[in-house]
């Protein structure tokens, strides 16, 4: 209802053409690349970005073999480092090893690998895919014997097939139709937009993505909601802490190098 009221208050003669609105939305994404740093909250995941680069840290709470833990990943260029942080689980593993329950160790190892495979989703789903591929490559070794398990709690590095680089925000993909409608501006000078992207796929099918974007007076995106279907729950991303001095993302020294 609020969105409808905003749209009625806008005069068609005063509303900029769609290509101008598209540039406004894409410019807000580019604004993120000009920030020294910022945070992004996506469901229960906190992602920290540090520019230039960017260097990215992802943290997400999880449960591993019944214990609380955190999945943590750092990505810089072609390097991805990951680990599980869970002092309680480490203490439990020490007890299981003391009791020499090898079957339990194998099960715990499988649980940790599953947690690592789901490190990311949505726009970072490729991280999960790479982690799954890594796990498959080592499946024979992992299932044939109990893991030492300690290495999961230390930083492990792997090389990505391509580096993480900023994407051009002012040049839309020619295979994508991108239309934007301005909804309105609230008292905090945050403007809401609705967008529809239709991308032509190689198999001649098309992928439709709908989103709602909120952009503040400084040109930063504050929130986006993305959906690929009317029945899907929108993916909500909230941006904040622009140029925060306490964001410092460094690539850790890894104990192991995964291929």
Q: What are phi and psi of 70, to 5 degrees?
A: -130, 130
Tens digits of residue pLDDT in 53-87: 789 898 888 888 888 888 888 888 888 888 888 88
Whether residue 135 is predicted with pLDDT greater than 60 in this model: the reply is no
Cis peptide before 35 (omega within 30 of 0): no
Q: How many other C-beta atoms are found inside a 10 Å radius of the C-beta of residue 5?
A: 10
Average pLDDT, the chain: 74
Chain centre distance of CA 72: 12
Report residue 231's pLDDT band, with 50, 70 and 90 as the boundaries: low
Residue 197 near residue 181, CB atoms below 8 Å:
no
Tens digits of residue pLDDT in 158-187: 777 777 666 555 545 555 677 889 999 998
Distance separating alpha carbons of residues 178 and 169, to the nearest angstrom = 13
Lowest mean pLDDT among 61-70, 91-100, 116-125: 116-125
Question: HEC states along 170-192?
Answer: CCCCCCEEEEEEEEEECCCCCEE
Whether residue 246 is predicted with pLDDT greater than 90 in this model: the reply is yes
Q: 65 by DSSP, 3-state: which?
A: coil
Query: Closest Cα partner for 22 from 176, 230, 237?
Result: 176
Q: Which residues contact 248 (CB under 8 A, 6 or more apart)?
A: 50
Query: Closest Cα partner for 243 from 48, 19, 14?
Result: 48
Question: How much is the pLDDT for 138?
Answer: 45
For the chain, the residue count is: 259
Percentage of the chain exceeding pLDDT 70: 68
Residue 82 near residue 119, CB atoms below 8 Å:
yes
What global pTM score does this model have?
0.71
Tens digits of residue pLDDT in 205-227: 777 888 899 999 999 999 999 88
Distance separating alpha carbons of residues 249 and 49, to the nearest angstrom = 8
Q: Give the residue-averaged pLDDT of 26-53.
A: 89
Report residue 253's pLDDT band, with 50, 70 and 90 as the boundaries: confident
Report residue 30's pLDDT band, with 50, 70 and 90 as the boundaries: confident
Residue 200 near residue 206, CB atoms below 8 Å:
yes
More confident: 222 or 197: 222
Question: How much is the pLDDT for 37?
Answer: 94
Distances in whole angstroms, Cα of residue 130 to Cα of each of 72, 90, 202: 15, 25, 23
Residue 250 near residue 232, CB atoms below 8 Å:
no
Question: How much is the pLDDT for 26?
Answer: 86
């Amino acid at each position: 209802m609020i969105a409808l009221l905003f749209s009625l208050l806008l005069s068609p003669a005063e509303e900029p053409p769609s290509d101008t609105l598209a540039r406004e939305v894409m410019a807000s994404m580019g604004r993120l690349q000009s920030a020294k740093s910022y945070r992004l909250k996506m469901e229960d995941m906190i992602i920290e970005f540090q520019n230039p680069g960017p260097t990215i840290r992802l943290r997400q709470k999880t449960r591993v073999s019944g214990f609380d833990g955190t999945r943590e990943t750092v990505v810089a260029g072609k390097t991805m480092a990951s680990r599980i942080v869970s002092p309680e689980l480490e203490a439990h593993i020490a007890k299981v090893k003391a009791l020499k329950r090898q079957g339990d160790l194998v099960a715990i190892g499988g649980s940790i690998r599953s947690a690592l495979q789901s490190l990311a989703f949505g726009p970072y789903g490729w991280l999960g895919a790479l982690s799954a591929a890594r796990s498959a490559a080592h499946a024979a070794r992992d299932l044939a014997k109990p893991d030492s398990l300690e290495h999961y709690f230390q930083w492990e590095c792997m090389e990505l097939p391509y580096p993480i680089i900023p994407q051009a925000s002012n040049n839309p993909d020619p295979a994508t139709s991108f239309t934007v409608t301005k909804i309105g501006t609230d008292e905090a000078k945050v403007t809401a937009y609705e967008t529809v992207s239709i991308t032509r796929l190689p198999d001649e099918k098309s992928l439709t993505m709908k989103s709602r974007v909120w952009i503040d007076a400084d040109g930063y995106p504050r929130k986006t909601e993305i959906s690929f279907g009317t029945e899907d729950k929108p993916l909500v991303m909230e941006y904040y802490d622009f140029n925060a001095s306490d964001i410092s993302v460094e690539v850790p020294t890894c104990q192991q190098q995964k291929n």
